[in-house]
Amino acid sequence: MAINAGMIKALTEPSTVSEFLGAVAQAADSDRDALGFFPRSVYGDFCRKGQLFVARESGSDGGVYAGHLLFDLRFPKAHVRQIYVPKTHRGRKIGQKLLTALKSMLTDGQFISIHARVAEDLRDANKFWEAQGFYAQRVEVGGGSRNRIIVVRAHELDTPQLFASSGISAADPLGLDAVEGGGKPLYLLDLNVFFDLGPRRPRHELAMSVFRAERMQACSLAVSSEIETELNRTAHDGKTDPMLSFVGTLAKFSRPPAEEWARLMPMLATLVFSERYASGSLSDNDRSDLMHLATAIYHGLSGLITSDIRILDRAPELRQQFSVDAISPELFQAEPAHTVDPVVHEMHSTDIIEVQVASSTHTAEIRRLLTTLCIDNATQVHQWAATDSGSSACVRHVALLNGVVAGYIVLPAKIRGNEIRAHVAVDELQESVHEIAQSLLLHVLSVVGPGEVGRIRLSCPPRQASLREVAATFGYVASTSMSNDLQKIVAKGRFTERNWAATRDSLAAVGKLGLPDTPPAFRHIDQQVSVIRPDSQKVLVSIFKLESLLAPMLLCLPGREGVMVPIRKHFEEHLLADSPQDTFLPRGKAQLAPLRHYLSDKKTMKNFARGDLLFFYESGKNKGAGAVIAVGRVLRAYLRDESAMQAGDLAPSVLDRSQLSSIGVSKTKTITVFDNILRLPRPVPLHELRSIGCGEAHQLITSQRLSSEQVQAILDKGL
């Protein structure tokens, strides 16, 4: 059997593979650091068993060796022992083609999974395996001669199995679909909420916001059959109660069986009406309230929406003991604090993007945009609140490109505390679509305050390719349960040894993720960290990927080194985000991008390493702070000649070509790509930098390496 791939063929039959045994052995010996050592006879043994695949490039001489895959079979698992592609053939997805051939063969043979062992320090190899869908399953200590840490990676095949697969994937190692709240919550309504719908009731607007939230698909509403009993009990003789007809339009849940009511009633009464229950003086209304709670508990519903202060006061205990929420209609109102001032962004061209509250004047353009994106009228009105100007149940913003609606975002009320839901759409036909998407996603992130943790779920129209590309740079992953949803957990803080316990608890409470009890010592940026997913499965995620998924979070672990760079005040105001001072001027164009560029002289290249913590020292000139004000993460650094500078090099920075001479006389510059930028709550001034050995005048005019001890000292003072 041979699988065609253009000029490359994956040979899988022993008779054709045997012709290349010499080339396979020679190639494997050329990179023993990555592949280990096997005697040459081993390759012949594996070939005879059909456990050696070879990639052959066709040519006039019959064919050239282009790579190989060596594996072991122990049903129902396969173990990759070697995969290798010569440097002359890399970049053509040959390794992927060999693995595809193996996956196909194993799936036909009813195998369950493939495993591979990769040294933790081999960054490119781990990146390759992750791209092929192999998640980190565990780590082991390697042989004594090299003292390496080995990452055991696994890929689960799409094979019919007796038991369900783990659900772990390299694309979403954190398993965010398992986070509570992935689906719509279903709440029972208390009768007092219905009464508040009356136009003269003081809580009328609050009750209306509950039903607006349901229309926007933020939740589902239902009633207990107990409500009919209540209404019949309070009805006037000979009069029809219109509320009975209205209640009949909602889904109805029956009371729990008598034995279940007998079990739940004493526990709920003791909790909610302790004094009345103890004295035997529960009223009919009290018993009715308890029946609502018992119905929600028995049917496994999300909770009860009520205005009864006695029940609301016991909400934490109800949540802890019965996993049911007692919530007020007030939670269904959007927060007004996030609706005020418009935000204006400079573009990389002469265009301007302004994100502002949507008004009735934008309705026609909003609907035109949504119609272009194939969203039907009913969905526009209900889920996207396209006509809901002034609604209290959601916050609506538009992104205006030179005054024209080019993007739209809806943020329903945060019913579940730290869970943020949003509907986002952008005009894919605009040249500036990436910047439009960035402006809206930054707006969503701004809902989460400094030091807070939040869960975000974005609903997008189909075929929003640019929006999805931009969202990936912010750390979003695709939902497996909702095809058009994107999701992430955002942690706006720095995990240090000192605050580890508190921030770990916040991440567990909001994101349902469990980190180790104590902070691990830092070895390198690609070391694996144990994480407990929301579905209670344990996975391993590299520090680098964990920071990207929880961006802009930073794991400031003991042992991690850094670099400090100087920046002038007028540059800092445009490059760094979250300025402590509000401004009415347009925000710097670089602030749109989650990945930004810091430019410096070519001699500084040696000071930047992937994964370094990057500290920004704002000089004291022109009323600057004279202190370290922010920290981020180095992604990579590269050299670029001024004459070869491209728009992609300068756009995420604060410089243009005319300013390049101000950062050194050399015509070659160092471009450092960084992300996860966060300001320090307390700037670290010059005299404190001197006390830890990094604040002398000659050190502050250029980039300087920081030891792990200096990094921790700056963080201790800055936090």
Tell me the pLDDT band of 174, cut-offs 50, 70 and 90.
confident
Q: What is the DSSP string of 43-100?
A: HHHHHHTT-EEEEEE--TTS-EEEEEEEEEEETTEEEEEEEE--GGGTTS-HHHHHHH
Structure-block tokens of residue 298: 């028995």
Note the pLDDT of residue 285: 86
CATH topology identical between 2-169 and 336-491 = yes
Note the pLDDT of residue 579: 52
Note the pLDDT of residue 75: 83
Give the pLDDT mean for 308-323.
91
Residue-wise pLDDT for 581-603, tens only, equals 544 445 556 677 888 999 999 99
- Whether the pLDDT of residue 454 is over 60: the answer is yes
Note the pLDDT of residue 560: 95
pTM over 0.75: yes
Residue-wise pLDDT for 70-100, tens only, equals 999 988 889 999 999 999 998 899 999 999 9
Give the pLDDT mean for 655-668.
80
Contacts of 250 (CB under 8 A, 6+ apart): 189, 221, 222, 223
Identify the CATH homologous superfamily for domain 336-491.
Gcn5-related N-acetyltransferase (GNAT) (3.40.630.30)
Domain 2-169 listed as CATH 3.20.20.70 = no
Note the pLDDT of residue 4: 44
Q: What is the mean pLDDT of the chain?
A: 86
**What's the residue count for the chain?**
719
For the chain, report the end-to-end CA distance as a whole number of angstroms: 62
Select from 3.40.50.1010, 3.10.105.10, 3.40.50.2000, 3.40.605.10 the CATH code of 186-332: 3.40.50.1010
For helices 21-29 and 40-48, what crossing angle results, to 10°? 130
Q: Calculate what percentage of the chain has a pLDDT beyond 70.
A: 90
Q: Is 559 exposed, middle or buried (0-12, 13-18, 19+ CB in 10 A)?
A: middle
Note the pLDDT of residue 179: 62
CB 409, CB 423: distance < 8 Å: yes
Locate the domains of the chain by residue range: 2-169, 186-332, 336-491, 494-555, 562-718
The architecture that CATH gives domain 562-718 is Roll (2.30)
Bridge partners (DSSP) listed for residue 458: 422, 486
The whole-angstrom separation of Cα 622 and Cα 268 is 65
Quick one: which of 87, 93, 12, 86 has its CA closest to 54?
12
Q: Calculate what percentage of the chain has a pLDDT beyond 90.
A: 46
Backbone angles phi, psi at 584, to 5 degrees: -95, -5
